[in-house]
Structure 1
C-alpha cells in the first residue's frame, strides 16, 4: 500500500496509546487499523501462524443476477493475489478485476513478513475460504488474523507503487538522434583521443628530426677527425722518414715523391 512514513508512524503511535486503553493489564493483545497492526504478548509469536479469523463484511450485497459471476471472479482475483504475495519479500499484493461491463472488484492480501512462503499461503487460503461463511455475496469485506488478512471492495481503496524497476534513461532522443547523456560522454572521449594522436604525431616527428640531425653531426665530426689525423708537422715527417732517406722512398706520385715513415708510437704511415 502506498502509505507515507509519517502516516505509518502516526498509526503506530495512536495504536500504542489505544491498545493500553482498551486492553489494560492484558498479557496478550492485538489492535489493527487500516494502515497498521500492533501486537504484544508474553510468549513468542514470531513465525507462528494465527488461523483464527475475524471479519467485518459490508452490509450491501451483489444482486442475484450478478452473484455467481461476482463470486467466481472474486475467488480468482484473491487466489492470484495470494500466489503473488507468497512469492515476494513484502508478502503483499493488490489488484482488480471486472465482474460486469461497468463494475470492478478490488482486492488486497498480505501476511506479516515473519511468515515463510509455506506459512503465508495457507493462512491466506484460510481467510479466502472463510468468505462463503461470513460474507457471502457481500460487495466488500475484511477478513484476517494477527498474521494475515484479505480485503475486497467494489471501489478502489488502495494505491499501489509500481513493483517493476524504473525504466533506464533514454539513450536516444529526437532531433540529432542522441541524448544529452550520450553527447556528454562521447565528446570528451573523442577530444581526448584527438589530442593524444596530435601529441604523438609531433613527438614522433621531433624524434626523427633529432635523429637525422645527430647522424649528420656524427658524419661531419668523423670527417673532421679523419682530416685532422692526416695533418703532421714537417719536423715530425723528417723524423719519421729519417730526413727523407732514399731507404724510405716508395716511389713517385702525382704530387711528388712518396715516403714511408715510422711515428713515435711505432705505427708506419705512407
Structure 2
C-alpha cells in the first residue's frame, strides 16, 4: 500500500486542481460587452443570422476548439455571416476544463445578449462573436468591478517598481517568444515576505508586434487603476493582463523572476538566455522590417506622386464630381483654388512668427490676404497622416456646408509637395486652449460656457439633420471646436467626416479613426458609427466644459480611471456639484449646471439607443421644465486604441488612433 501512496497523492492533487478550475469556470463572468442591436437589426431569434450564431457557438464549444485552446471560425454568407472566437487561458492544459469554460461562456453570452456582436470574459476563457470579421484590432481596456474590491498596498511606489519589472518581463516573453503562444505567467518576491503573481495573454491571431503594443496599452491601464492595489485585471478583445498577491494560475507554467536590486540574489541562467534570444529576435525583426521599407519606399513615393497629380487634376476640373466612400456624389465647383505664391506672401513665407500651432499633420499659420482679411493656413506635411483621400474629403465636403457654427473653408492649394487648406481666422483659437487654461477659464462666466455648448450642439444638429448632406463628424473634441472674436463656437476638421444617404442611420468601417477619450464604444470596439457616435463625443466635451478637466489623461488626477467614471460616481453619490468647476458654480445657479451635467451623462451612455439625438439635446438644453430620464451607466471603460490603418504613414500619439489635427487658429 505504501509504495503506491505517491501515485495516489499525485492523482489526488491533480483531481483537486482540476476540480478547482472547474469551480472557477462556473463562476460569474469577469465582464461582458453586449451593445444594442437597433442600428443593425440582424439579430432575430428566427433569422439566418441567429441560426449561424448557434452553429458558431457549437463549433467554439467542440473538442477540437478546446484542445487547441484558441479557435477562430465563421458560418454563413453576408450579410448574415457570423464570426466567432474562443480563447482559453494559457496555463489551462486540461482540454476538458477549457471546453467546459467555453460551453459556459457560450451559453451565457447567448442568454445575456441580443446583439450582432458581443464578448464575454471568464477567469479561464473568453468567447466573442460578431457580424463582421475581427480585422478591426482596437484596444479598449475594461476594468472589472472586482478591481475596486482589492485592498491598497502600504508602499505603492515601491510596489509599482516590482510590478512594472514583473509585467514588462512577462509581456516581452509573451510577445517575442513564439513557442509560448502569446501567454506568460510568473512571480516575483516582494519585500515583506510577499509574492506578486502576474499573467499576460494575447489572442493568437495577432502579430508579435501587435501583441506587444496591446500589452503595453494594457500595462498603462493596469498601472493607472491598480498599481497601488493588491490585485488588478485589465481585459480587452485582443489581450488581457492580471496580477495578485495570491497565486491564481498553474504554478508549473510560471517563471520565477528576481528584482535586479535585490541583495543576495543572482539572475538565473534562463533569464540571460531569454534576454539574449529576445534581443536577437527583435534585432532580426527590425533589420527585416528596414529592408522591406527600403524596397517599398521608391514605389510608395511614385504612387504618392501619381495620386497627388490625379487629385490636382480632379479637383481643378470644373464642376468635378467626387464619389465618397458611401457612394454619394458631391461637387467641388464651389472650391476656391489659391496659388502657393499668394499663400507664401500672406504668411510671410510661413514664418515662425505667424505659426499658430503644430501637430502630427504639419503646422497652422496665420496669414493676411491683400484685401486685409485674416486667414489660417493648414500646411500638411508630405508625410502627414492626413493623406490624399482625407484632403479631398475635407476640400469637397466642407465647401457644401454653410452654418454659423461650422468653420468656413476659404480655399485650398495643391502644388508639388504642398497641400494647403485655407480657413477663416479664429482669433480665440480652439476650445481646449480656453477651458483647460486656469487663467483664461477664470475670466469667463457660465453664460459664455452655455453659449459655447449650445453653439456646438447647433453645429452638430445642422450636420445630422438640417444640411443638404447628412454628415457624421467622427472626431469631435475641444481641439476641433474653434472660437471667433465673440467666442462663437464653430466645429472644424472634416477630414474624417462621412456622408450618409437620406435613409441611412449607421455604417461600419475597418478603418477606425478618432481620438482616445471621445470615441463611442461601439465605434472603437466594432467600427460602427452613426449620429449617436457624435452625440457621445458631444457629451464628453460638455462634461469637460463643466468640470474644466480633460477626458484624455484623466487618470493622472487619481479621482477615477476616466472622466466619465468620475462623473458617474459623484452622480450616483448625490454629489454632482463636486464634479463642477468652482468658476462655473460662482456664476451659475446650481440647478442649471447640474441639469447640464445630467444631459451630458445621457449623451455618453454605453448603449447608443439610450442616447438622445441632437435635436432632443437642443430641446433639453433650451427648456428647464422638460423632464429628463435617469441616465444609465456610461461607457467609462473606453481606453486607448491601437494604430489601425495600415495606410497611415506616421505613428499615432498616445492619445490618438490617427492624428487628429491641431485646427486652424
TM-score by length of 1: 0.56
Task: Output the CA distance in 2 between the equivalents of 1:162 and 1:76.
Answer: 18
Q: Which has the higher contact order (CA 8 A, sep 6+)?
A: 1
Aligned residue number for residue 118 of structure 2: 29
Can you list the C-alpha shifts for 1:178-220, whole angstroms capped at 9, x where unaligned? xxxxxxxxxxxxxxxxxxxxxxxxxxxxxxxxxxxxxxxxxxx
Q: Is the 8 A contact 1:96 1:105 kept in 2?
A: yes
Task: Output the CA distance in 2 between the equivalents of 1:36 and 1:49.
Answer: 19
Matched, 1:9 2:134: no
Structure 1 residue 124, shift from structure 2 partner: 0.4
Give 3-state SS (helix, strand or coil) of 2:119's partner. strand
Q: Identify if the C-alpha distance between structure 1 residues 133 and 101 changes in structure 2 by more than 3 Å, giving closer, same or farther.
A: closer
Q: Is the 8 A contact 2:182 2:204 kept in 1?
A: yes
Task: Output the CA distance in 2 between the equivalents of 1:63 and 1:21.
Answer: 38
Task: Output the CA distance in 2 between the equivalents of 1:42 and 1:4.
Answer: 31
Matched, 1:45 2:128: no
Q: Is the 8 A contact 1:69 1:99 kept in 2?
A: no
Q: Identify if the C-alpha distance between structure 1 residues 157 and 121 changes in structure 2 by more than 3 Å, giving closer, same or farther.
A: same
Structure 1 residue 101, shift from structure 2 partner: 3.6
Give 3-state SS (helix, strand or coil) of 1:69's partner. helix
Structure 1 residue 44, shift from structure 2 partner: 0.7
Structure 1 residue 70, shift from structure 2 partner: 0.8
Structure 1 residue 98, shift from structure 2 partner: 1.7
- For 2:219, which of 113, 128, 136 is the aligned residue? 128
* Consecutive aligned runs of 4 or more in structure 1 exceeding 6 Å deviation: none
Task: Output the CA distance in 1 between the equivalents of 2:191 and 2:92.
Answer: 27
Task: Output the CA distance in 1 between the equivalents of 2:218 and 2:253.
Answer: 26
Q: Identify if the C-alpha distance between structure 1 residues 98 and 91 changes in structure 2 by more than 3 Å, giving closer, same or farther.
A: same
Aligned residue number for residue 103 of structure 1: 194
Structure 1 residue 162, shift from structure 2 partner: 5.2
Structure 1 residue 63, shift from structure 2 partner: 3.6
Aligned residue number for residue 388 of structure 2: none
- For 1:74, which of 123, 145, 163 is the aligned residue? 163
Aligned residue number for residue 70 of structure 2: none
Give 3-state SS (helix, strand or coil) of 1:130's partner. helix
Matched, 1:155 2:246: yes
Q: How many residues align?
A: 161
Task: Output the CA distance in 2 between the equivalents of 1:118 and 1:15.
Answer: 29
Q: Is the 8 A contact 2:187 2:254 kept in 1?
A: no
**CA RMSD, 1 decimal:** 1.9
Task: Output the CA distance in 2 between the equivalents of 1:155 and 1:58.
Answer: 17
Task: Output the CA distance in 2 between the equivalents of 1:45 and 1:33.
Answer: 20
Q: Is the 8 A contact 2:153 2:230 kept in 1?
A: no
Q: Is the 8 A contact 1:105 1:155 kept in 2?
A: yes
Q: Is the 8 A contact 1:2 1:160 kept in 2?
A: no
Matched, 1:119 2:207: no
Task: Output the CA distance in 2 between the equivalents of 1:59 and 1:79.
Answer: 25
Between 147-156 and 15-24, report the one with greater CA deviation: 15-24
Aligned residue number for residue 252 of structure 1: none
Structure 2 counterparts to residues 245-256 of structure 1, below 5 A:
none
Task: Output the CA distance in 2 between the equivalents of 1:113 and 1:86.
Answer: 10
Give 3-state SS (helix, strand or coil) of 2:149's partner. coil
Give 3-state SS (helix, strand or coil) of 1:30's partner. strand
Q: Identify if the C-alpha distance between structure 1 residues 163 and 130 changes in structure 2 by more than 3 Å, giving closer, same or farther.
A: closer
Matched, 1:83 2:83: no
- For 1:20, which of 110, 126, 130 is the aligned residue? 110
Structure 2 counterparts to residues 129-148 of structure 1, below 5 A:
129-148=220-239
Q: Is the 8 A contact 1:58 1:140 kept in 2?
A: no
Structure 1, unmatched stretches of 5+, are: 165-270
Instruction: Report which of the two structures shows the higher radius of gyration computed on alpha carbons.
Output: 1
Give 3-state SS (helix, strand or coil) of 1:93's partner. strand
Q: Is the 8 A contact 2:233 2:241 kept in 1?
A: yes
Structure 2 counterparts to residues 86-235 of structure 1, below 5 A:
86-89=175-178, 90-161=181-252
Structure 1 residue 138, shift from structure 2 partner: 1.0
TM-score by length of 2: 0.23
Structure 1 residue 55, shift from structure 2 partner: 1.4
Task: Output the CA distance in 2 between the equivalents of 1:101 and 1:135.
Answer: 19
Task: Output the CA distance in 2 between the equivalents of 1:136 and 1:63.
Answer: 9
Structure 1 residue 135, shift from structure 2 partner: 2.0
Q: Identify if the C-alpha distance between structure 1 residues 106 and 58 changes in structure 2 by more than 3 Å, giving closer, same or farther.
A: farther
Q: Identify if the C-alpha distance between structure 1 residues 63 and 35 changes in structure 2 by more than 3 Å, giving closer, same or farther.
A: closer
